[in-house]
Amino acid sequence: MKSLGVGLIGTGYMGKCHALAWNAVKTVFGDVERPRMVHLAEANADLAAARAAEFGFAKATADWRALIADPDVDVVSVTTPNQFHPEMAIAALEAGKHVWCEKPMAPSYVDAARMEKAARSAGKVAVLGYNYIQNPLMRHIKTLIGEGAIGSVNHIRVEMDEDFMADPDAFFYWKSELAAGYGALDDFAVHPLSLLWYLFGHVEAVVTDMVKPYADRPSKDGGRRPVENHDAASVMMRLGGGISGVLMANRAAWGRKGRIALQIFGSKGAIAFDQERMNEFELYQADGRGTEQGFRKILAAPAHHPYDRFIPAPGHSLGFNDLKIIECHELIRAISGEPSSLVTFEDGLRIERSVHAMAQSFHERRWVEIG
């Protein structure tokens, strides 16, 4: 497969993550051609030029449409705020480009459906940035569940907490706007939903409560502005195979920085994982003598592929950006027609459907089945 020409729209936190991944994927994996950093787009020309120099892109523009029209661009990374995803992703697909778009797909389910339809019509690879499923330990947890290491799974609890909106005196910004979505549910609860999808399949029914820890926030003009969406949510779920579940998400949780605490309970044991300690998980197996039973800590090691492509020794730890590099490698494999493990727009739309069903449940105060 020839080297891919990369276009990057947006250079904030996630834009930089994508740039790091595209620049490192050949060095880490070796079995793909080195991508060409072709074109970068930002909100203004000066910022675009500065970021292009930093990230290693040959061209810079303040017009993302010019990037999409560039014949040297084969694949477009979309890392802009959520509300801009649909227009950019659809335009890229219609121009014959592959798309790597950050999650969530879009604040509106209608727009997310339009994105999925555009991907089907274009016949191009279109995937979402759910890099937590790329953790080598998450892959191993999936293998253990499939092997029956903890028996038949019957209950799951997952919590996602961060504290970037915990301060009541922090200024209002775009993530609290209704245009950005429901709040904690689609801002980041989609990440644990991607883990549930990866391990067990999609959620089938939900009942939800959402809250606003703070009704308003100070604005930079000196006044106060009402918070338009919900920073915390609690969801009871049903999954296939009779599995029950609980999902809790809070982006106003003091002290929590990147917590996705996953507990999986089965008929013969349990598994516990926390994203803040992403290089380990705990395994409990109810066999042997009761006097020696207990949770065992499993550390990430070269035996958990592709950890070995980064580090030759156990316990030395991968990081968030490393998962993005793995995701980038999976994307290149998908574009070349090889088997890969990614959240496609089709799977992402089902995750979006789950989020919108949760919001519907909250507004209608009832269980909602997800078709």
pLDDT tier for residue 187 given thresholds of 50, 70 and 90: confident
All residues at 6 or more sequence positions from 210 whose CB lies less than 8 Å from its CB, including other chains: 182, 183, 184, 185, 230, 232, 233, 234, 359, 362
The pLDDT tens digits for 261-300 are 999 999 999 999 999 999 999 999 999 898 989 999 999 9
pLDDT tier for residue 215 given thresholds of 50, 70 and 90: very high
> Does pLDDT of 119 surpass 80?
yes
Where in the chain is CATH 3.30.360.10? 134-318+335-369
pLDDT tier for residue 253 given thresholds of 50, 70 and 90: very high
- Long-range Cβ pairs for the range 46-53 (8 Å, 24+): 47/11, 48/11, 51/11, 51/15
pLDDT tier for residue 60 given thresholds of 50, 70 and 90: very high
The pLDDT tens digits for 23-47 are 999 999 999 999 999 999 999 999 9
Q: In one letter, which amino acid is 277?
A: R
> Does pLDDT of 179 surpass 90?
no
* Centroid of chain to Cα 292: 38
pLDDT at 347: 96
Q: Across the chain, what does the average pLDDT equal?
A: 96
Q: What would the mean pLDDT of 95-109 be, rounded to a whole number?
A: 94
What is the rounded distance in angstroms from the CA atom of residue 352 to the CA atom of residue 281?
28
Pick the CATH number of 5-128 from 3.40.47.10, 3.30.420.40, 3.30.930.10, 3.40.50.720: 3.40.50.720
3-state secondary structure of 266: strand
pLDDT tier for residue 100 given thresholds of 50, 70 and 90: very high
Question: Topology of domain 134-318+335-369, per CATH?
Answer: Dihydrodipicolinate Reductase; domain 2 (3.30.360)
What is the β-pairing status of strands 232-239 and 244-250? antiparallel
> Does pLDDT of 186 surpass 90?
no
Where in the chain is CATH 3.40.50.720? 5-128
pLDDT tier for residue 340 given thresholds of 50, 70 and 90: very high
pLDDT tier for residue 333 given thresholds of 50, 70 and 90: very high
> Does pLDDT of 6 surpass 90?
yes
3 closest CA partner among 37, 31, 36, 29 = 36
The pLDDT tens digits for 123-150 are 999 999 999 999 999 999 999 999 999 9
pLDDT at 72: 98
pLDDT at 94: 98
pLDDT tier for residue 180 given thresholds of 50, 70 and 90: confident
pLDDT tier for residue 107 given thresholds of 50, 70 and 90: confident
- Give helix 13-29 / helix 320-335 axis angle, nearest 10°: 70
Whether 128 contacts 105, CB under 8 Å: yes
What is the rounded distance in angstroms from the CA atom of residue 332 to the CA atom of residue 329?
5
Q: What would the mean pLDDT of 48-76 be, rounded to a whole number?
A: 98
The pLDDT tens digits for 302-319 are 999 999 999 999 999 999
pLDDT at 181: 87
Whether 234 contacts 209, CB under 8 Å: yes
